[in-house]
Amino acid sequence: MIAPCVLGITAFVMIPLALALYRSLFDYRVYSEVQEWVGLKNYWQVLSTDLFVRSFGNVLLLAACVVVLVVVCAFFFAHVIANIAPRFARAVKSIIYIPCLISGIAAGIIFLFLTNLSGGLINGVLFELGLDSVAFDRQGIWPYVSVIYPTVWLSFGYNCLVLYAGLINIPSQYFEAAELDGAGAGARLWYITLPNMKNYFVLIIVNLVAANLQMFEVPMMMTGGGPLHKTYTPVLYVYNSYRDNAATQSLTIAAAVLIMIPIAVVNMVIFRIIRSEKSNDD
């Protein structure tokens, strides 16, 4: 039963990964008959590139903002859904999930209609009110907002529904017993809701961190990585490196592998924590 899955992973994940790791150790050129072994030179060259190092700092900041905003907002909105009438809750759940069906490119285009300096809806309203226009792609903190807000919008619905599922799975007897013992809303939240939601939080944080460390479409559409590369991300670096005729394919592969490493480390650490807690629970 698991053979098709194993074959698929082997053919489309493991073999390409092995080839990528192999080629990253060469000065690989597509049309050259002789490939020069360079060892870890490509990795050191990428790591010594200031733009690549800065892009990691940028994406860590952006990912941290997105993760905090999504987790906090989704958690509290999940409480709203859990406490409204079921017929309204069904409509709300359908509506908030719609952005999850939209690609990052499409979301970027939608928000460009709102934030464009010339012709954007927000600047149109500001002009009508007699206020100064805002250059969202290069002015002050607005480039960060231009990237963070669409990213939060895209991932909010799915994570909200995950947390909502966790909330409704907490036995109501816990809350009833706590209320009879005189526990207030804050105490019930701290001692009942949060401990029972721990694994749900871990799940969405792992997904959000892994996804946002690979942030690409929204920064490319909204700011192009600017201004002054403040919203430049590692995947955007890889994309531009691949299009650069002066860069070898080996450098691009090495950069992609370096992006994969912190994502794999974060996932291993988080899943190690989950396994330890599961063992303790048993």
261 occurs within a structural domain: yes
Tens-digit pLDDT string for the chain (282 aa): 899 999 999 999 899 989 888 888 888 766 666 678 888 899 999 999 999 999 999 999 999 999 999 999 999 999 999 888 888 988 999 999 999 999 999 999 999 999 988 788 999 999 889 888 899 988 889 999 999 999 999 999 999 999 999 999 999 899 889 988 888 888 988 999 998 998 899 889 888 988 999 999 999 999 999 898 999 999 999 999 888 877 778 888 899 999 988 888 877 877 777 665 554 444
Pair (141, 186) in one structural domain: yes
What's the domain count of the chain? Answer: 2
CATH classification of the domain holding 209: 1.10.3720.10
Whether 187 and 178 have beta carbons less than 8 Å apart is answered as yes
Q: How far is the first Cα of the chain from the last one, in angstroms, to the nearest whole number?
A: 28
Single-letter amino acid code for the residue at 1: M
Give the Å distances, CA to CA, from 147 to 11, 104, 113, 183, 210: 35, 11, 14, 41, 17
Pair (31, 56) in one structural domain: no
- The whole-model pTM stands at 0.86
Tokens of 141: 């903190």
Task: Domain of residue 184: give its range.
Answer: 52-104+135-281
45 occurs within a structural domain: no
Consecutive H or E run containing 26:
strand 26-27
- What is the Cα–Cα distance from 70 to 47, expressed in whole angstroms? 31
78 occurs within a structural domain: yes
